[in-house]
Structure formats: C-alpha cells, structure tokens
Amino acid sequence: MRNSLRFGTLGSRIYSFFILFIFGTIIILQLVAFQFTISTVQNTTIESNKTLLGQLTRQIESYIEDMEHLSLAVIEAEEVQTYLRGEAPAPLPVYTKLIQKQLGTYLKAREDIKNIYFSDMVGNILSADASVEINQYADVLNSQWFTSAVDNPSETILSGSYVQNLITEDYSWVTSISRGIVSLDTGTLLGVLLVDLKFDGIKELCQSMVTGRKGYNFIIDDQGVYVFHPTQQLVYSGVKDEPLDEILESIHSGEDNTYSDGEKYYFINDSETTGWHMVSVLYEDDIITDWQYVQISFAAIGLILFLVVGLVTNRITRSITSPVKKLQKIMKSVDEGEFHLVGEIHATDEIKELAHDYDIMVTRIRELMHENVKEQELKRKSDLKALQAQINPHFLYNTLDSIIWMAEMKQHREVVLMTSALSKLMRISISKGREIIPIKDEVAHVESYLTIEEMRYKGKYDSEILIDPELYEEMTLKITLQPLVENAIYHGIKESDHKGLIQIIGTREKDTIVLKVIDNGNGMTPEKVKMLNSPYTVYEDDQPWVNLRGMGVRNVHERIQLYFGEEYGLHCESLLGVGTTITVRIPVRGGVR
C-alpha cells in the first residue's frame, strides 16, 4: 500500500495528473462561469443605465423646449413689445404693473420658474415678481446671459448653474434661459428676456432615473460648467469633484461616451437640443450587489464535483496500474542482461499490445545497434541543418528595434524598405525546406541582409556584388554567403576607424565555383589565419575559430563538406590592418554526394 502511494509510481502519477487536470479544469470553468455571470449582469445593468440616461435626456430636452415656448410667448406679447419700444400709454407705472401681472401668471403656473425678467438695451430690468427689489449694483449689460442673447438674438441661450444676483439680498442657484427680444414690426433688437429656472424641476428628473443605491446623475455644458449636480455646494466648494477633463475628452473624441476610474462608471449622453451632456454615475459595487453569494455557490458546486471526480479517478487509476505492475515484474529480467519474452498476459488490449511490442523490441535490438552508426551520421546532418536554419536572434531583435525606431520617427519609406528586406530574407532562409538553391536566390538573400545592415549602419561601409551572371542558375547550399558577410561587418569593419567596403565576387574555375567575400576591415595576424585554415573540426567552442568567426561560419564550412565533399569548403586569407578574404569553393554541378 505504501509503495502504491509513491509519486514515482505510474498509479500515483496518473492519479495526480488527473486530479490536477480535473481540479484545474473545474477552477477554470468556475472562473469562466463566474466571470460570465458577472459580465452578463454587468452588461444588463449598464444597458439599463444607458436606457434610463437616454430617457432622462429626452425629458430634459422636452422640459427645455417647454421653457423655450414660454419664452417665445413672452417675447411676442404685445404689452412687452409696446413697453420696450417706449410706446407704453401713460401712466407708465400702471402699464408696468399690468405687464408684471401677466408675467406673474407664468410664475404661479410653473413652480419650477424662479423669476422672469426682461431688460431694455441700456440695462433697465423689469421683474415679473413685483414684490422683489432689483439689485441696483447688478451689472446687467456685462452679464453673460445678456451679452450672449445680444450677440445671438434669434437663438435661445442656456446657461450653466450660477448664483443670480439681480434681486437684492437673494443669491439663489439657478439655470437661465435668455433670448433677444426683437421687434415684430421693424426687426430691431429691443431687449433681452431672462427666465431663471429653479433646480427643482431638473433635480426631480435627474433623481428619478438613477441606477443602484449610490448612483446619481449630473449635467454639464460643453465647457464643463455644471448645469446641475445633486451636491452642487460641495462641488463648487471643492469638497467633491468629478473627472471633468476625462469626461470632456471622451465627449470630444466621439468614440465611446463612457469613462471609468475603476470605482465608478460615467455614462454620457449628448443633447443636440440643449447642447448639454447628461452624465450618469454608476458605482462598480452597485452592479452586482450579491456577488459574494454567487462566489460561495460556485465554490460549493466546484468542491462537490472535485470530490466525485477524485473517487472516479482513483478507481480508473487502479484498473490501469494493476496489469502494468504485473508486466513490470516480467520485464525485470532486462536488468540482468537477459531478454525474456513476455508471452501472453491477461490485461487490456493496450497492455497486451505493449507486451507484444516489447517482444518485438527484444528481437530487433541487434539490428538497431547496427543501424546506430548510420543514425548518428544522419543526426549530425540534422544538427547542422537545424543550426543553419537558425536566425541570429540579436540580428532579428536589432532589426525589429530599428523598424520601431524608424516608425516612431515617421520614416515610412525606410520602414517599408527594411520590412520588405527582412521579409525577403526570411522567405529565402526557409526556401520551402530546400537545402540546395540557385545562386541567384542566395544573392537575393545576402542583398536583403545588406539592405538591412546598411540602413542600420548608415555610411559605415559600401558593398559590391560582382558575381558572373552565368553562375546565377548554378546551385549552391543556402545561407552560404550571409554568415560570411555578417562576420565581415561585425568582426572586420564595425570596429575599424575608416569607411569599410565589402565585395562579393563569384567566378568559375573549370568545374568549381569560387565565391569570395572581401572586406577592408581590421584583418588578422598570420598566426590566427593559420589556425583558422587548420581543419575546423579540431576546435572546440572556446577556441579561436569560434571566438573570431562565430558558429555560423564554421557551420557553413561543415555543411559544404557534408553535402559536396571534403575537397570543398572555406579558406581564409587576411592581413592585419588591411582586410580579410574568405573563399568558398563548391562544385559546378551543385549536387550532393
């Protein structure tokens, strides 16, 4: 029993795997289901809030339209027109009281109107409420409601909330509607009508359409001035604030009239009629009020599922591991060097097949040992092929960094050119899995590489490709020239203090194609050249060839010899301070051994 519980046994591993797998699956499903539930409730609440906000906007617009109709009725009243034209019959005080009485009927009919005033063009104010005293120090002519109406006499001017000071010792918060009073006879501007609205009407509308226990609505104009806020005094005193800058940015961007600061959602609806922006505030914890109970329910269901699946998994594990243990005892003879056949075993079809395969394995061990040498050679070729297929990650990272930098600098042409060169280089590197490609493709590959490097090292070096066009259809091993050019740049020219030149020359010598990569970089000492031209396979990774020319160049030489024969490969010539020439020799036929 103790052995069956060890983690190293098949049974314990299967059991542990399934338990962890099922546990992880249940957890993931629980999280997905919980998030789906939360998301569904959240989306429903948000959509409901948006619907209410749309209704609020329409009701505010209807409310303001009613006020506009009222203001037009006052403006077009014959008594008001006569009074402002200066044609009022004597005695004037009696006519003034008549006008105030008529306007007073509007105040009595609409409790949401604070007062109605009209002013002539020199700032004389007449109030609909005859019981109040006009503040003689009020600067009417420079008031925003007056100047805006004068500048736009045919439009209704809506203000944000402010403290009205037209009445002596009365400083009430109001929202105003003002409009120019134009003569119906001559079309000249006679004065300005001002209707002060109480907050009660707008407040009632805003508070009647709120989502959640802590949610609220407020209204701002296009400049971010509050038209209404449920805590108006706190907002203007700085005790409470709203993210007006972010809300206005969301409004003016025209993308999504929604903003969230992590704790609250701000939903915005624009009114074309008023130019105001209705903002509904919904708290995150108001979206799902009982989410703790949802979590507990999901956790309980997950625990029950986990226990049930654990019991089932234990039974399944035992049914699998029992015959495996029997097979294990039979196969222990291998430890003693004896390969006994298993023969018949009473187990599932899979275990029987395993036993049968074991018998076949024993009979084929000698054959496999003889084939091992051949497989090692194939493995070496595969390793070289895999190494050849790798792209220097630093080169790729640097190239991508260069593309990003040029994109940030808006060098679009250079971005397109470098990206195209990188794409072409990658495509030729793959070559649909072919190892032998035409020399013209190899030339295109190294041209793409030079294009990228020349853009990175502007003015550091020039390059020339002087390959006989008659050789372009001959075949070569892919990615032969690029590693040599790379080393010429990084080990020859990059650290030199003069402008470099890289030449790639290709000629034919009887049945041999000779490719040369020549640079005028720092060069090498004769001792290093001698070591480099020694058989490369004798060097370990920490020896000069690797340190000076990199794994890529050694890989080129070994692949050439592997595919074409030991008479082909690379040869190095170099003079210190003058430059280096790497010569590549491959057969004209381009075929492998």
Segment 274-316, tens digit of pLDDT: 888 889 998 887 776 656 666 677 677 777 877 777 777 777 7
Instruction: Please say whether the beta carbons of 487 and 545 come within 8 A.
Output: no
Q: 468 and 418: one domain?
A: yes
Boundary of a domain, candidates 180, 201, 222: 201
The reply to whether 493 falls in a domain is yes
Q: 524 and 579: one domain?
A: yes
pLDDT classification of 509: cutoffs 50, 70, 90:
very high
Task: Cite the beta strand spans of 455-552 per DSSP E.
Answer: 461-467, 475-477, 500-509, 512-519
Identity of residue 131: S
Task: Cite the beta strand spans of 84-154 per DSSP E.
Answer: 113-120, 125-127
Q: Residue 148's Cα: distance from chain center in Å? A: 45
pLDDT classification of 515: cutoffs 50, 70, 90:
very high
**Parallel/antiparallel/unpaired status of strands 113-120 and 157-167:** unpaired
pLDDT classification of 205: cutoffs 50, 70, 90:
confident
* Lookup: tokens for 73: 């009725």
Instruction: Give the CA radius of gyration of the chain.
Output: 45
pLDDT score at 381: 60
pLDDT classification of 192: cutoffs 50, 70, 90:
very high
Task: Cite the beta strand spans of 390-455 per DSSP E.
Answer: 436-438
CA dihedral (338, 344, 348, 354) positive or negative: positive
pLDDT in tens, 525-568: 888 888 877 764 444 444 444 444 445 677 788 888 888 888 99
Percent of the chain scored above 90 by pLDDT?
14
Most confident of the following: 208-212, 296-300, 579-583: 579-583
DSSP bridge partners of 388: none
The reply to whether 382 falls in a domain is yes
pLDDT in tens, 328-367: 776 776 666 666 666 676 667 777 777 777 777 767 765 6
pLDDT score at 573: 92
Boundary of a domain, candidates 143, 168, 201: 201
Q: 397 and 344: one domain?
A: no
What is the average pLDDT score of the chain? 80
The reply to whether 55 falls in a domain is no
Range of the domain at 414: 390-587
Q: Give how many domains the chain has, as a whole number.
A: 3
Q: 381 and 440: one domain?
A: no
User: How many other CB atoms are found less than 10 A from the CB of residue 417?
Assistant: 15
Q: 88 and 185: one domain?
A: yes
Q: What is the rounded CA–CA span in Å between residue 408 and residue 405?
A: 5
pLDDT score at 585: 94
pLDDT score at 7: 54
Q: What is the rounded CA–CA span in Å between residue 95 and residue 445?
A: 98
Structure letter (DSSP) for residue 521: S
Q: 528 and 563: one domain?
A: yes
Q: What is the rounded CA–CA span in Å between residue 320 and residue 324?
A: 7
Q: 493 and 433: one domain?
A: yes
φ and ψ of 292, to 5 deg: -60, -40
Boundary of a domain, candidates 356, 372, 387: 387
pLDDT score at 581: 94
Q: 365 and 455: one domain?
A: no
Instruction: Please say whether the beta carbons of 581 and 572 come within 8 A.
Output: yes
pLDDT at 375 over 90: no
Question: What is the H or E stretch that residue 197 is in?
Answer: strand 189-197
Counted residue by residue, the chain has a size of 593
Please state whether the peptide bond connecting residue 230 to the residue before it is cis, i.e. omega within 30 degrees of 0: no
